[in-house]
């Protein structure tokens, strides 16, 4: 994906954590890489050695980067918390922290950015207010003529708030063919998570299965075992959240275009599906499964096409 982005004209790659950035370097990519999530100050040397750009939002990491005495300044970007509440400098604290970064030896400020937490159709007016405040504060910081790149636009903002594209955009969902804008975009899902049916059996009405025998079959049916589960990101609700409750909506796999509903809750490494609607299902047959895309790296690569 990184190679496709660079070949298509991207100037900078953005990843969540240090391990993702190191994986790209190990794959031979020498491009500029921004780590947008927190980095342990103890790993400051790794950041410098690999010429990463790193998000800073606290003096401890800033001091660790400054103390490296590296041959070249370490590239840093300040993240501002505009209400998401995960990490970042509060907007009211940005001027003070900005001056701290500017004075820190051994670092170079290459950007100020934010993730406003916009969801189409839900908090548009609030996001407009937050972005206007962000713009006003950063404009005052640059009143002396210094211009530091700013970026706030993820996929949703890119589409719905084009005036805030500024110096860069961070597309994520769009890379997966996902968009929430009312407009029509000619996008396709670029991938399909597939598994295979490893076992087919018949069960009778009233039969109990699963951990604690908690699932009861309402009728006789043909059942398929699929060798992936919640440990691979199969469903959106983790078991710790469900706590014995049924999911808020039903999941299913697809075999030859036929929906095959899940039976009971997925286990860590498996899930059962109802194959009753499939004509003569076969062991080894492919089934397309619902997968949280952020867990795709954990999907077991057991079967090769």
CB 66 within 8 A of CB 81: no
Report the alpha-carbon distance of residue 281 to residue 293 in Å, rounded: 27
Sequence-separated (6 or more) residues with CB below 8 Å from residue 263: 209, 215, 217, 221, 223, 271, 272, 273, 274
Report the alpha-carbon distance of residue 134 to residue 92 in Å, rounded: 10
Sequence-separated (6 or more) residues with CB below 8 Å from residue 224: 197, 199, 200, 255, 260, 272, 273, 274, 275, 281, 287
Q: What is the pLDDT of residues 88-123, one digit of tens each?
A: 999 999 999 999 999 999 999 999 999 998 988 889
- Which segments of the chain have a pLDDT < 50? 238-242, 247-248, 302-305
Task: Please provide the DSSP assignment of the chain as one string.
Answer: -HHHHHHTT-S-EEESSHHHHHHHHHTT--S-EEE-S---GGGHHHHHHTT-EEEE-SHHHHHHHHTT--SSPEEEEEEEESS--SSSEEGGGHHHHHHHHHH-TTEEEEEEEE-----TTTSHHHHHHHHHHHHHHHHHHTTTS----EE-B-HHHHHH-GGG-TT-B--SGGGGT----SS----------EEE--EEEEE-TT-EESGGG-EE-SS-EEEEEES--GGGT-SSS-HHHHTTPPPSS--EEEETTEEEEEES---SS-EEEE-TTSSS--TT-EEE----GGGGGGS---S--
pLDDT of residue 300: 59
pLDDT of residue 279: 96
Q: What is the pLDDT of residues 183-207, one digit of tens each?
A: 778 887 777 788 999 999 998 888 8
pLDDT of residue 47: 97
């Amino acid at each position: 994906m990184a190679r496709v982005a660079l070949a298509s004209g991207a100037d900078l790659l953005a990843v969540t954590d240090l391990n993702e950035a190191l994986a790209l370097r190990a794959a031979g990519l020498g491009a500029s890489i921004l780590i947008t999530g927190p980095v342990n100050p103890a790993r400051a040397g790794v950041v410098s050695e690999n010429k990463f750009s790193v998000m800073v939002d606290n003096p401890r990491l800033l001091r660790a980067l400054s103390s490296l005495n590296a041959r070249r300044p370490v590239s840093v970007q300040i993240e501002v918390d505009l209400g998401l509440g995960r990490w970042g400098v509060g907007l009211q604290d940005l001027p003070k922290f900005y001056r701290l970064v500017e004075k820190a030896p051994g670092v170079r400020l290459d950007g100020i950015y934010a993730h406003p937490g916009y969801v189409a159709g839900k908090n548009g007016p609030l996001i407009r207010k937050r972005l206007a405040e962000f713009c006003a504060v950063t404009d005052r910081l640059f009143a002396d003529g210094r211009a530091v790149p700013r970026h706030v636009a993820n996929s949703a903002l890119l589409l719905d708030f084009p005036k805030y594209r500024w110096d860069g955009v961070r597309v994520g969902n769009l890379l997966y063919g996902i968009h929430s804008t009312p407009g029509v975009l000619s996008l396709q899902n670029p991938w399909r998570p597939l598994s295979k049916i490893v076992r087919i059996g018949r069960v009778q009405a009233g039969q109990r299965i699963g951990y604690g025998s908690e699932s009861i079959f309402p009728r006789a049916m043909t059942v398929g075992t699929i060798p992936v589960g919640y440990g691979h990101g199969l469903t959106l609700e983790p078991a710790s959240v469900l706590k014995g409750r049924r999911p808020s909506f039903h999941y299913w796999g697809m075999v030859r275009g036929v929906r095959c509903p899940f039976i009971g809750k997925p286990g860590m490494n498996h899930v059962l599906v109802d194959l009753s609607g499939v004509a003569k299902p076969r062991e080894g047959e492919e089934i397309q499964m619902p997968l949280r895309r952020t867990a795709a790296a954990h999907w077991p690569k057991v079967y090769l096409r």
